Amino acid sequence: MLHFNENSFGMSPKALLAAKHAIELYGNRYADQSFEEFKVKLAAHHKVDPQQLIFGNGSTEVLQAIATYSAQQSASMIEPIPTFGDLKRYCEAENLNIIQVPVGQDFEMNIAAMKKQANAQTGPVLINICNPNNPTGNIVDFSVLFEWINNAPDTHLFLLDEAYFDYAQTNPRYKSGLELIKQGRDNVVISRTFSKVHGMAGMRIGYGIATKKTASKIKPFASGFNLNAAGLAAASAALDDKEFYQKSINNNQISKTLLIDTLNKLELAHIPSDTNFVLHRIGQPLADYQSNMRRNNILVGRKMTNDDRWNRISLGTPDEMKIFTETLLAFRQKGWV
C-alpha cells in the first residue's frame, strides 16, 4: 500500500503499549483528564500556552473548524492547485468563494500570483498553504512566505498545513510558521498531525496552533470531546520516544534514496521531496500504470495532476521500496515506463 502517505514503519512500540494500557484501564471512561494532561504536555513540547492549541480527530477536523470560522467572516479562500483537497471541500460546503492558483511547470507554488489574488479581494481572505505541499512534496521558501505574511493585511488569515513538517527539517529553505505565531502574528494558524512521522494515522490525533487571540476565535467551531483515550495515550508516549522519532525519519530517508536512485537510473523526472512521498513521471497513462501495479500487488497514488503521466508514490519501508523499485525496473523492460 503505497498510495495514502501512511508511515509503513508503524508507530512507536511504546506508543502502542500505552494505547493498549489506556483501553484496558479506562477505555470505559471519558478521556477528559487524559486530554487535559496531553494538552499541557503538547503545549510544553512546542513552548506555547495550552490555550493556543486547537484539537481535532485528525488534522482535517482542524481544517474544517477553520473553514467554518472563515465562512462566518464571509471570507474568500485562495490556494494553489494541486494541493491537499480537504480544505477546499469544507469551504465548498460553506459556500466560500474559492480561487485556485495553478502551480508552475516545476510544481512550485506561484506565491506572486496567489498574493495578487489575495490583494484583489475586498473582504477577509483565507490563504491555504500546505507546506511541504501534498501531492508535490516540495516546500515554499520561508523567506518568501514570511515576507508575505508579515506584510499582509490583518484580514488575511494564513493556514499553514504542516502535516509533513518533520520531514523538512534538514532543508535550510524551510521554517515552520510556528516561529511567526510565537512572534505574535495573529494572522497565522498551523495544523499538525500524528499521522505521518509518528505512524498513527488510524489513531486520528491532529491539532492546530495559533496565538491565543486567533485560537479563541476558531475553537468555538471545533468539535469538542473528539479525542479518544487510546489515541491520547499513544500520542503522549510518542512525544517521549525520541529514538523512534529519529528512526522513523531515517527510515524514510533510506526508502527515498532507494526510490530516487531508481528513478534517476530510469531517467524518470521527479520533484524534489521533503515528505514521505515522491511525485514522479511515469511512461504510460496513469490508469494503465495503476492497473499494472495492482497486478503486482502494489497500490499507487490516484490522479492528482493535470498531466496524466505523473504519479505520487508513498514511501514504504526499505524492503517495500526494494520490491517497488524492482517492479519499476521490470516495467521498463516491458516498455511500460
**DSSP states of 13-74:** HHHHHHHHHHHHHHTTS--HHHHHHHHHHHHHHHTS-GGGEEEESSHHHHHHHHHHHHHHTT
Question: Using one digit for the tens of pLDDT, what is the confidence trace for 26-66?
Answer: 999 999 999 999 999 999 999 999 999 999 999 999 999 99
Tell me, which fold does domain 13-240 have in CATH? Aspartate Aminotransferase; domain 2 (3.40.640)
Position 260 scores a pLDDT of: 98
Question: Using one digit for the tens of pLDDT, what is the confidence trace for 273-324?
Answer: 999 999 999 988 999 999 999 999 999 988 888 888 999 999 999 999 999 9
CATH topology match: 13-240 vs 243-333: no
CA distance 16 to 230: 9
Position 283 scores a pLDDT of: 83
Nearest to residue 21, comparing CAs of 181, 172, 230? 230
For cell 484496558, name the residue: 24
Position 139 scores a pLDDT of: 98
Percent residues over pLDDT 90 in the chain? 93
Does a cis peptide bond (omega within 30 degrees of 0) precede residue 285? Answer: no
Q: What DSSP element (H or E) covers 278? A: strand 277-281
Domain boundaries, the chain: 13-240, 243-333
All three cell numbers of 69: 470560522
CATH (one of 1.25.10.10, 3.100.10.20, 3.90.1150.10, 3.30.70.141) for 243-333: 3.90.1150.10
Q: What is the mean pLDDT of residues 133-142?
A: 97
pTM of this prediction?
0.96
The one-letter code for the residue type at 161 is: D
Listed in sequence order, the residues at least 6 apart from 297 whose beta carbon sits closer than 8 Å to its beta carbon are none
On whether the CB atoms of residues 139 and 89 are closer than 8 A, the answer is no
For cell 505541499, name the residue: 133
Q: What are the CA-CA distances from residue 52 to residues 23, 119, 150, 214, 215 (Å)?
A: 28, 28, 20, 8, 6
Counting other chains too, the contacts that 281-289 makes at CB distance below 8 Å and 24 or more residues apart are 281/309, 281/310, 282/309, 282/310, 282/311, 282/337, 283/309, 283/335, 283/336, 283/337, 284/309, 284/336, 284/337, 285/309, 286/310, 286/311, 288/336, 289/336, 289/337
Question: Using one digit for the tens of pLDDT, what is the confidence trace for 183-235?
Answer: 999 999 999 999 999 999 999 999 999 999 999 999 999 988 899 999 999 99
Q: What is the mean pLDDT of residues 118-137?
A: 97
On whether the CB atoms of residues 11 and 236 are closer than 8 A, the answer is no
State CA 260 to chain mean position distance. 21
Burial class (CB in 10 A: 0-12, 13-18, 19+), 94: middle
Q: What is the mean pLDDT of residues 167-191?
A: 98
Q: State how beta strands 206-210 and 188-193 pair.
A: antiparallel
